Amino acid sequence: MNDTPDLLTPALDAASARGRDFLGTRHAIMAGAMTWVSERHLVAAISNAGGFGVLACGGMPPALLEAEIIATRTLTDKPFGVNLITLHPQLDELIAVCARTGVSHVVLAGGLPSGPAIAAIKAFGAKLMCFAPTAALAKKLVRSGVDAIVIEGSEAGGHIGPVSLTVLAQEILPVITDVPVFVAGGIGRGSAIAAFLDMGASGVQLGTRFAAASESTAHEKFKAAFVRASAREALSSVQVDPRLPVIPVRALKNAGSEAFNQRQREVAAAVDRGEMDLAAGQLAIEHYWAGALRRAVVEGDVETGSLMAGQSVGMVTKVQPVAEIIAELVAEAEAALSRAQPREAAA
């Protein structure tokens, strides 16, 4: 569990000091929690390289999450977090697992967390991070006791909101100053990291570049699809029936994209026939992604599986070790911040 060779990055260290202190890491670079991808090997590699790995609980039962946390600890002695979905039917038990295993950081995603969930996480001393799609909701979360905010733009992969990160950053960073704010969505270069730090972010979150890392256990065909893809191929899903609103998902276009549209039409027809109500229909549509993502990541079905990827996929040009990816990002960010310092001094 040795650290990778350290780079001298005084400008980056100063700009990201708040985020690094919050995460307890060498660099304020979080990894996005990607279901079927963000497991022990990738998480440990990111933390060992100076970043902050995040385990994706997804639909795991409590026993499996506990085993994954313990297994990750055998691979790294560095800080890492656990991402929990607020709609998980066993959320209380998952929080208890995090408490029992001494998890230092919990990331709640997938919806507005309840007061009891926030209280339970704070009670065992973990730092709590939550996603906020608007400034108003970010303020509410901070008042509720959340320790840090993540804002994620529509450029990201997987489930996305409607607003780009550049707009969210301008809206939220100036008004959320009591807690650290990490930005995510479409980040693939260190120069972008420097720009968002300069805007007031405490750190960044990346998913797509890490998904194709050497240490990622994703299928080689899945990684190869990322290497081949351009930003324009990472498209958001289309809602077919207004009665069945679904959160858009950004993924590489393939036969699975059309299959999702067909699935929506089938569910709408079943609702029309009275075979299921709207709530059951929405759940059936959501369940499509779980199976489709597994087929792509685990089985390598890149034709009909879901290739969830952010628009930064165009910057994935090869399969690289995590340490190399982080070193590139850090060097680029340091160079960008160092170039800006003489201009600021002159001004």
Name the one residue in this structure whose structure tokens are 């207004």.
242
Instruction: Report yes or no: 128 and 135 within 8 Å, Cβ to Cβ.
Output: no
pLDDT of residue 281: 87
For the stretch 224-241, pLDDT in tens is 999 999 999 999 999 888
pLDDT of residue 98: 98
Question: Which of 5-19, 59-73, 282-296 has maximum average pLDDT?
Answer: 59-73
Q: How far apart are CA 255 and CA 345, in angstroms?
A: 54
Residue 1: band (very low, low, confident or very high) from pLDDT cuts 50, 70, 90: low
Q: What is the pTM of this model?
A: 0.93
> In the predicted model, is pLDDT for residue 12 greater than 80?
yes
Q: Distances in Å between the alpha carbon of 313 and those of 36, 100, 174, 210, 235? A: 18, 37, 29, 10, 11
What is the helix (H) or strand (E) element at residue 182, kind and residue range?
Answer: strand 181-184
pLDDT of residue 346: 56
The DSSP string of 135-172 is HHHHHHHHHTT-SEEEEE-TTSSEE--SS-HHHHHHHH
Of the chain, the percentage scoring pLDDT greater than 90 comes to 84
Mean of pLDDT over the chain? 94
Residue 345: band (very low, low, confident or very high) from pLDDT cuts 50, 70, 90: low
Instruction: Report yes or no: 173 and 209 within 8 Å, Cβ to Cβ.
Output: no
Residues with Cβ < 8 Å from 226, sequence gap 6 or more? 208, 211, 212, 252, 307, 309, 313, 316
What are the two backbone dihedrals, phi and then psi, of residue 289, each rounded to the nearest 5 degrees? -65, -35
> In the predicted model, is pLDDT for residue 289 greater than 90?
no
C-alpha torsion angle, residues 346, 201, 31, 114 (rounded to 10): 180
pLDDT of residue 342: 65
> In the predicted model, is pLDDT for residue 183 greater than 90?
yes
3-state class (DSSP) for residue 8: coil
Residue 284: band (very low, low, confident or very high) from pLDDT cuts 50, 70, 90: confident
* Token code pair at residue 8: 């001298």
Q: How far apart are CA 76 and CA 193, in angstroms?
A: 25
Q: Which of 131-140, 141-150, 285-294 has the lowest mean pLDDT?
A: 285-294
> In the predicted model, is pLDDT for residue 288 greater than 90?
no
**DSSP conformational letter for 36:** T
Q: Count Cβ atoms below 10 Å from residue 284 Cβ, excluding itself.
A: 17
Residue 5: band (very low, low, confident or very high) from pLDDT cuts 50, 70, 90: low
> In the predicted model, is pLDDT for residue 6 greater than 80?
no
> In the predicted model, is pLDDT for residue 120 greater than 80?
yes
Complete domains list, the chain, with CATH: 10-218+316-346 (3.20.20.70), 227-297 (no CATH)
Longest Cα pair distance anywhere in the chain, in angstroms?
A: 71
Q: Which of 94-98, 275-279, 281-285 has the lowest mean pLDDT?
A: 281-285
Residue 128: band (very low, low, confident or very high) from pLDDT cuts 50, 70, 90: very high
For the stretch 29-69, pLDDT in tens is 999 999 999 999 999 999 999 999 999 999 999 999 999 99
Counted residue by residue, the chain has a size of: 347
Amino acid identity, position 322: V
**DSSP conformational letter for 160:** -
pLDDT of residue 285: 84
End-to-end CA separation in angstroms for the chain: 44
Residue 257: band (very low, low, confident or very high) from pLDDT cuts 50, 70, 90: confident
For the stretch 314-343, pLDDT in tens is 999 999 999 999 999 999 999 999 987 666
For the stretch 212-221, pLDDT in tens is 999 999 999 9
